[in-house]
Amino acid sequence: MSAERRDFLVELGTEELPPKALPALEQAFSDGIRTRLAQAGLQHGAVESFATPRRLAVRVQRLVSQQAEQRIKRRGPPVSAAFDAAGAPTRAAEAFAHSCSAPLEQLGRERDAKGNEYRTFSGTKPGAATASLLPALVQEALDALPIPRRMRWGAGEAQFVRPVHWLLMLYGREVVPARILDATAGDQTWGHRFMSGKPLRVLSPATYASTLARRGYVLAQFALRRERIREQVAAAARELGGRALMGEGLLDEVTALVEWPVAVAGRFEDRFLALPREVLISTLQDHQRYFAVEGDAGQLLPWFITVSNIQSAQPDVVRTGNERVVRPRLSDAAFFWEQDRKRALAARLPELEAVTFQAQLGSQGARVERIAALAAAMAPALAAEEFAVGRSAHLCKCDLLTAMVGEFPELQGIMGAYYALADGEPEAVAIAIREHYQPRSASDELPSTAVGATVALADKLDLLAGVFALGQKPSGTKDPFGLRRAAIGLLRILLDRRVELELPALIRAAVAAQPLPDVAARLESVSAEIYDYILERLRAQLLEGASAVTTEMFDAVLALRPASVVDVDARLRALAGFVGRSESQSLAAANKRIANILRKSEPGAGTGDAAAVDSALLCEAAEAELHQALSALRGRVDEQVLSRDYAGALDTLAALRPQVDAFFDQVLVNDPDATLRANRLALLAALRALFMRVADFSRLPG
């Protein structure tokens, strides 16, 4: 007989939750409930999650009312210890039977793989009632939420991201008895803070969302509320004759701020349209959570759309209030814009000496000089104009001293570009100042110009070198200096532009330039650590994406320590296309065998120098044929590797499979004759050295 099934609902009511964290909290709570139900063996249907500024909730459909019967099998004491000399059961046997709640006669016997015989018990245990398991299950899911810092409230000891005010837990129509985070479970929720002042009774989990929407003025589903906002904002913008700028991040944040969204349009003075586009957007979006509006030609219009959290009987009052709030913000921005342009950007360069980059790494002025030196070294490889690179590198941090960036830090680089153009600097310099922070995130655009890419690479290299030299590399999820972002950005630029740079040498130069007293003594170790860190970011990128690259392929290429990231990528692409061929496994297995043989051989045997092989000592046909084939192909492989035609080199190496297979089938490498043995080891070393021109095949599956 199957267990009864009912829906389960849990809702935690709180003070307003952090808006940027709300989607992650919702997902983690839902996943935590689902995971713990699976661990408890409780079958169920669909799982639906809800999240608003004042609540997190999960509904589990068709949750079984009881765990399935559990089969138990336990092993007790050895038979030799379970009976005394007279064959009577000992206290050990009786204690085991008691722990199993079974009479002695129900105990069995069983032998293990070594032939030892033990007393055993096999039986069943009824499953627990679901309702009795739910409180602990919910508590565990809440405890596991990604909350960096929890707070206490009132006189209790409970801790959560915000104070908890109510707890709703229903299994079917019945309240699940529980007390979690100092809140006692009930069947009541609360609606909108201002539009619904009374508690709302939820009759069943299935009516939860509709009860809140009809009687509480709350759209509990995050996705539904988000779509409602999108539709309302788009409609309001159309009425204004424009199009709303709706970034996904802004949509998420606004959705996390309201429970009953109502779009309201507002206007600002036309004079503010003279401000740079990014200043207006930053003021409206980042600081006010308003949606900017642009016309058909892409120009900003003097309108904004805000999303109110209330259905007001006087919408004009709401509109006027928002206009009154945004006007001083835009006035401040206009004032900063006018004041900053009174001084040339370059005039601020000496003042960077008084701005600390990091206590031990010196000033921003010193850092700019390091960036300029690195950029100059890289410029030829990127075909970047020398003067523009130097000028951009020196001016790239000057906007940090402007009033606008002081008020809007997110505009650094962007404002530097505007001020540079206003000062009459070359366009290439202004663009590079803007682009040198790019990519700012995984989805951000890359620098569009060679000058911008050069300064961006130098900026990221100096940051990595300085922080690693300080011994403050990222650990776990902590990355206060954004080194992961810097390394990934560096890789994206190099691979996108196919830039051939001797990265280890540049890293050493960047580390050597850091103003630390002991940096020279640690130069090689820190540089190697940074290079490994960058390549590990490349590994993560390739393995997490849709790439055919595997961990084994990556290890095979990294064993050669290529100096160029582009070279690493080219080798991996070639390997990814080669490993599916029949020759791949055979040659990988042979390389593993060769590596093991050479590792165990006497020191100095098998240097990899083909000239060390004496053809006169090749007395077996198979070894002579392998040597002949190796000699014939070596020149072609060298040319292909030199031209980065690794796919062609692998095709050439694949032709050696018959001779390699025949050698291991017919030739005794460790011949009793020391001269023959040394010659054969030299032949194998030469073979392995040829394969190592592309990758360490012994690390591939085979």
User: Strand 117-125 relative to strand 108-111: parallel, antiparallel, unpaired?
Assistant: antiparallel
Higher pLDDT: 559 or 2? It is 559
Beta strands in 65-162 (DSSP E): 70-78, 108-111, 117-125
CA distances from 534 to 343, 509, 531, 570, 574 (A): 39, 16, 5, 17, 21
Residues in CB range of 277: below 8 A, 6 or more apart: 300
Interval 285-326: pLDDT, tens:
999 999 999 999 999 999 999 999 999 889 899 999 999 999
Question: Is residue 116 packed enough to be buried (19+ CB in 10 Å), middle (13-18) or exposed (0-12)?
Answer: exposed
pLDDT for 607 beyond 70: no
At residue 602, the pLDDT reads 60
What is the maximum alpha-carbon separation in the chain?
Answer: 107
What does the pLDDT average to over 520-543? 92
Find out whether the peptide bond into 439 is cis, omega within 30 degrees of 0: yes
pTM above 0.75, yes or no: yes
**Whether 63 contacts 49, CB under 8 Å:** no
Chain centroid to Cα 141, Å, comes to 22
Question: Which residue reads 């009687």 in tokens?
Answer: 215
Which of the residue ranges 108-122, 267-281, 512-526 would you say has the lowest mean pLDDT?
A: 108-122
pLDDT for 603 beyond 70: no
At residue 123, the pLDDT reads 75
Chain centroid to Cα 687, Å, comes to 40
Interval 140-150: pLDDT, tens:
999 999 998 99
Q: Which fold has domain 348-546?
A: Hypothetical protein af1432 (1.10.3210)
Q: What would the CATH number be for the domain defined by 581-699? A: 1.10.730.10
Q: Please report which confidence band the pLDDT of residue 445 belongs to, taking 50, 70 and 90 as the band edges.
A: very high
> Other CB atoms closer than 10 Å to residue 473's CB: what's the count?
16
At residue 614, the pLDDT reads 87
Percent of the chain topping pLDDT 70: 97
> Other CB atoms closer than 10 Å to residue 40's CB: what's the count?
15
The domain limits of the chain are 5-67+129-215, 70-125, 222-340, 348-546, 581-699
Q: Please report which confidence band the pLDDT of residue 1 belongs to, taking 50, 70 and 90 as the band edges.
A: very low
Question: In whole numbers, what is the pLDDT of the chain averaged over residues?
Answer: 91
pLDDT for 349 beyond 70: yes
Percent of the chain topping pLDDT 90: 69
Interval 168-197: pLDDT, tens:
999 999 999 999 999 999 999 999 999 998
**Rounded distance between C-alpha atoms, residue 415 and residue 397, angstroms:** 10
Q: What would the CATH number be for the domain defined by 5-67+129-215? A: 3.30.70.260
Question: Is residue 240 packed enough to be buried (19+ CB in 10 Å), middle (13-18) or exposed (0-12)?
Answer: middle
Three-state SS at 147: coil
What does the pLDDT average to over 251-255? 97
Q: Which two tokens stand for residue 257?
A: 């701020």
**Which among 46, 43, 72 has a CA at the least distance from the CA of 59?**
46
What does the pLDDT average to over 77-86? 79
**Rounded distance between C-alpha atoms, residue 172 and residue 63, angstroms:** 9
At residue 2, the pLDDT reads 58
Reported as half-sphere exposure (CB side, CA atoms, 13 A), residue 405 has a value of: 20
What DSSP string describes 94-115?
A: HHHHHHTT--GGG-EEEE-TTS
What does the pLDDT average to over 453-472? 96
Which of the residue ranges 79-88, 372-381, 501-510, 653-662 would you say has the lowest mean pLDDT?
A: 79-88
At residue 241, the pLDDT reads 94
Which of the residue ranges 80-84, 167-171, 445-449, 688-692 would you say has the lowest mean pLDDT?
A: 80-84
